[in-house]
């Protein structure tokens, strides 16, 4: 990548960082993407599955097609990074690097638009609402794969702690399936000094929380991976009253759908047992999120070949993460691969979802080059 394009991508990335928009509210971000696509001369369709934008670049006589994806939304986090281009939208920041993902996909479009060595069609998918807003599913429901045909699809996520510009590709699972968990425990309220006249949901909550932790430690194969975390407990308003209700919320993550099914069965069983033990009513809600993000073998190997061809460092030995990724929905419809590209050291809190995080602009040429390279290789170039 030439110096001028690298500097342009940095300017675009920092503009996006300074103007973040939360999930489902990416209107100005989408307009910025459209403006830059016009400057590059790449035609696009806006409003796909919400604020999604899909740009299409075709050349030559080949009927082959491939998709490249970047996410656009930010997080409800107050930025403390202190950079000169910090968020100007109070309480919202690009704490996960979607600004860098968007800028690098624009960079890939720029590289491919000026490269005459390939033939076929590349679909550039700028996805909204990745952070729990179901943006991938919305784009699919809006006819993404029918309106913008692609045989396979590729994407990446920046990865703090991995050496800057190094590309990591997993054999299969990259990120976990996720589900939201909620319990509503209904007891009987009363005076805290007369507990025998109540049914205390706080006691039941404590037993439920501890019992849930036995699922991973005693029901799941030790060689499998699973997480159950209860993150919030809400109950009571007065120090001298036993509340009549408690609500627990959390998440569970697995690296296989079979283990996910096992966890769900165990959660219902334990909740029913605690309810019977303490004479409570426990309403359990399990809301499935994205499935496992898993690379398909041929596309994984193709992506690895593109990394080597681009002269980028390649890692094939990294363990998957228990974080979730909306890209999984695309991989359920089309074969593909999802890479990690190193963002460099995590010093000073440059970790995902940290208020001090910042995307490393030095990675933009490698990321854009990877995306363009994998597209060309997928098209047979």
What rounded mean pLDDT belongs to the chain? 97
Please report the pLDDT score of residue 381 as a whole number: 59
Please report the pLDDT score of residue 249 as a whole number: 98
Q: Where in the chain is the domain with CATH 3.30.70.360?
A: 177-288
Q: Which element (helix H / strand E) includes 348?
A: none
What's this model's pTM, rounded to 2 decimal places? 0.92
Contacts 24+ apart (CB under 8 A), 360-363: 360/100, 360/158, 360/164, 361/9, 361/10, 361/13, 361/14, 361/100, 362/164, 362/165, 363/100, 363/104, 363/158, 363/164, 363/165
Q: Write out pLDDT tens, residues 37-81.
A: 999 999 999 999 999 999 999 999 999 999 999 999 999 999 999
Question: Could you tell me the two tokens for 89?
Answer: 């939208």
Q: What is the mean pLDDT of residues 185-208?
A: 97
Please report the pLDDT score of residue 1 as a whole number: 84
Q: What is the mean pLDDT of residues 252-273?
A: 96
Residue 343: what are its φ and ψ, rounded to 5°?
-100, -5
Q: What is the mean pLDDT of residues 148-155?
A: 98
Q: Where in the chain is the domain with CATH 3.40.630.10?
A: 3-175+292-378
Please report the pLDDT score of residue 120 as a whole number: 98
Give the angle 306-105-92 at the CA atoms, nearest 5°.
135
CATH for 177-288? Answer: 3.30.70.360
Q: What is the mean pLDDT of residues 302-311?
A: 96
Domain spanning 3-175+292-378: which CATH class is it, in words?
Answer: alpha beta
């Amino acid at each position: 990548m030439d110096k001028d394009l690298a500097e342009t991508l940095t300017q675009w990335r920092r503009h996006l960082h300074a103007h973040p928009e939360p999930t489902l509210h990416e209107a100005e971000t989408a307009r910025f993407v459209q403006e830059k696509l016009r400057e590059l001369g790449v035609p696009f369709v806006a409003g796909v599955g919400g604020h999604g934008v899909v740009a299409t670049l075709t050349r030559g006589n080949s009927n082959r097609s491939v998709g490249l994806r970047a996410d656009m939304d930010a997080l409800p986090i107050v930025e403390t990074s202190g950079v000169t281009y910090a968020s100007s939208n109070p309480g919202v920041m690009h704490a996960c690097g979607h600004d860098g993902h968007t800028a690098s996909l624009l960079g890939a479009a720029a590289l491919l638009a000026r490269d005459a060595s390939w033939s076929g069609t590349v679909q550039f998918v700028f996805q909204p609402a990745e952070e729990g807003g179901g943006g991938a599913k919305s784009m699919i429901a809006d006819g993404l794969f029918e309106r913008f045909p692609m045989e396979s699809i590729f994407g990446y996520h920046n990865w703090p702690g991995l050496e800057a510009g190094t590309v990591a590709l997993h054999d299969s699972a990259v990120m976990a399936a996720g589900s939201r968990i909620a319990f509503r425990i209904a007891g009987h309220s009363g005076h805290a000094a007369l507990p025998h006249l109540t049914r205390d949901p706080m006691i039941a909550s404590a037993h439920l929380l501890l019992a849930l932790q036995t699922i991973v430690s005693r029901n799941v194969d030790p060689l499998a991976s699973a997480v159950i975390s209860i993150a919030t407990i809400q109950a009571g308003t007065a120090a001298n009253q036993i509340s009549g209700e408690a609500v627990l919320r959390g998440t569970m993550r697995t690296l296989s759908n079979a283990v996910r099914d096992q966890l769900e069965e165990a959660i219902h069983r334990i909740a029913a047992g605690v309810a019977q033990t303490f004479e409570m009513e426990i309403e359990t809600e399990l809301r499935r999120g994205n499935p496992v993000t898993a690379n398909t073998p041929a596309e994984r190997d193709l992506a690895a070949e593109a990394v080597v061809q681009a002269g980028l460092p390649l890692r094939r030995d990294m363990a998957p993460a228990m974080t979730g990724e909306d890209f999984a929905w695309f991989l359920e419809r089309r074969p593909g691969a999802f890479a990690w590209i190193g963002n460099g050291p995590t010093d000073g809190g440059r970790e995902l979802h940290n208020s001090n995080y910042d995307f490393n602009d030095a990675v933009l040429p490698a990321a854009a080059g990877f995306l363009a390279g994998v597209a060309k290789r997928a098209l047979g170039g």
